[in-house]
Every structure is written in C-alpha cells, then in structure tokens.
Amino acid sequence: MSRFTFIFCLSLISSLTANAQYLEFSATHDDLNNGYAPWDDQWISAEFKARHSHWNVQYRQTNRYDLTDQQVRLSGTRSLSRWDNTLSLDYSHSHRVLPELTFAWRGSTSLHDGIVTSTMVTRSIYTNSVTDQAALGAEIYSGPLLFITSFSTGLVQDAGPIYAGSITSRLYFNENTFIALGVSSGQEVERINSRNILTMKTRATHLDFMLRPLKQTEVFCSFSYHQQGELYAKRGATISLRHHL
C-alpha cells in the first residue's frame, strides 16, 4: 500500500466516524490524437460535516503521457458573514505531470435571489515553475435554467500571462436531474513531463447529465471535446457515482 493510499484510508475512516455525508467514485478516460496514449483518471472522495464546517478528503490517480501520478486533497468550507469560504490543499509526492502542491481559496456569496458570485485564487508549485491564477464567476438562476460563467487570468513563471473564459447552461428537470452544455476558450498550462511546462491556446465543449436512479445515489456523466493548440485534440468521458450515507 502506497503512502497516498494509507493517508486517504485514514482520512476516509475518520470521515465515516464524523458524520459522513457521502462517498463519491469517479473515473475519466480520454483518447488523444497525434500518437499520444490515452489518459485515465480515477478518484474517490468523502465529505463529512463538523460542527460549523464541511470537510472533503480525496485520493486521485492519474495517467498522462504514460506517466502515473497520485494526489491527495483536503478541503474545508465554512461560512463567515455572507460568504462561503473554501480552502483546499493538493499534494502529489510523485508530481510527474501534476503539481507537487496546490493551494486554493474560493469564496462565494449571494447578491440577491437568483444570482451567486464567486472568487477564486490558486497557486500551483511544480518542480521548476510556479503558476498563480485568479478567477471570477457567476451563477444566474432563472426558473429551471442555470447559467454559469467564469473568467480567469494567471501568471506562469518564465512563460507569461494566461487567460480563459467559460459559459455553461443547465436545464433542471428536478433537484437531482439536469442536462448541461458548456464551452470554454483561452489559454491553459500543459505539463508534458516532469520538467516541461507549456502555455497554449485551448477550446473545449462538454455535454453533461445527472440523474438520481436510486434514493441515495446520484449518477453524473460528461462527454467532452478539447483542442489543445496544435499539440493534440482529445475526446473524453467521465462517470461519477455519489452515494449519500
């Protein structure tokens, strides 16, 4: 058993004894062109409630460019005044394609009925580079429709600024069932091995579904197409199962 699996298991056991809210299992598969091998991601997470906050622990394994990484995440959310504040820490001991450390803060607040705004700042530390990003977002509710939009900008050490924007629309049939379509465009950070970090123009689209076939279980599916500059295009699918305890 790796140290990452051991840490996650301890966190998971702790969550189960501290009023766990749900367990979630997810997997993603991406097929790339231009001769690149497929990508695969699997992760498991658990969320639990403390006295005045919510906590989430996650263990992730990813395979990209024939390199495998493991990552653990701990995040906590607490409301202060009118803001919901979330702090998270990601750590990857191997960090071949993932950052070694990522720190993030996200704050969200409701302006009035039907509109929620959010702010997020992130710092990712790689073997020989650092990236800093900030994002602004808004969620606008109108009857069964939800519109989600965001704009982010950042700075990559020795590579200059990056930016990106996205918009997603969801149609809810009930609280636990929706269909969504989203598009995004801009620039992203791409790490193709332990040392090379690139920034390149990207565009992507995704089609999402969520339903609740069982009383305590939700199923989420997503299909995506992503163009990463001239490097590759990828088509992917994600499935997640969330079981409420």
**Tens digit of pLDDT for each residue in 130-147?**
899 999 999 999 999 999
Hey, which bits of 33-144 come out as E strands? 39-49, 54-64, 67-80, 83-91, 101-112, 115-125, 130-142
Residue 218 maps to a domain:
yes
CA separation (Å) from 41 to 38, 198, 217?
10, 21, 21
Listed residue (69, 52, 51) closest to 60, CA to CA: 69
What is the domain range of residue 122? 70-244
Which H or E run includes 152?
strand 145-156
Task: Average the pLDDT over 78-86 and give the result.
Answer: 91
Give the model's confidence band at 127: pLDDT under 50 very low, under 70 low, under 90 confident, else very high.
confident
| Residue-averaged pLDDT of the chain | 89
Q: Is residue 233 within 8 Å of residue 195, measured between CB atoms? A: no
Note whether residue 29 is domain-resident. no
The band of 161, judged by pLDDT with boundaries at 50, 70 and 90, is: confident
DSSP H or E segment with residue 169 = strand 160-174
Q: How many residues does the chain have?
A: 245
pTM value is: 0.86
**Residue 1 confidence (pLDDT):** 47
Which one, of 104, 103, 92, 44, lies nearest residue 67 by Cα? Answer: 92
Whole-number Å distance between alpha carbons of 204 and 229 = 11
Instruction: Tally Cβ neighbours within 10 Å of residue 99.
Output: 24
Within a domain: residue 81?
yes
Is residue 30 domain-resident? no
Asked if the structure places residue 139 within a domain, the reply is yes
193 within some domain: yes
State how many domains the chain has.
1
| pLDDT of 153 strictly over 60 | yes
217 lies in a domain?
yes
- Nearest in space to 62 (alpha carbons), one of 35, 81, 90: 90
Flag whether pLDDT at 96 surpasses 70: yes
Is residue 31 included in any domain, yes or no? Answer: no
Residue 122 sits in a domain whose CATH number is 2.40.160.10
- Rg, Å, the chain Cα set: 18
Q: Tell me what the mean pLDDT of segment 23-34 comes to.
A: 94
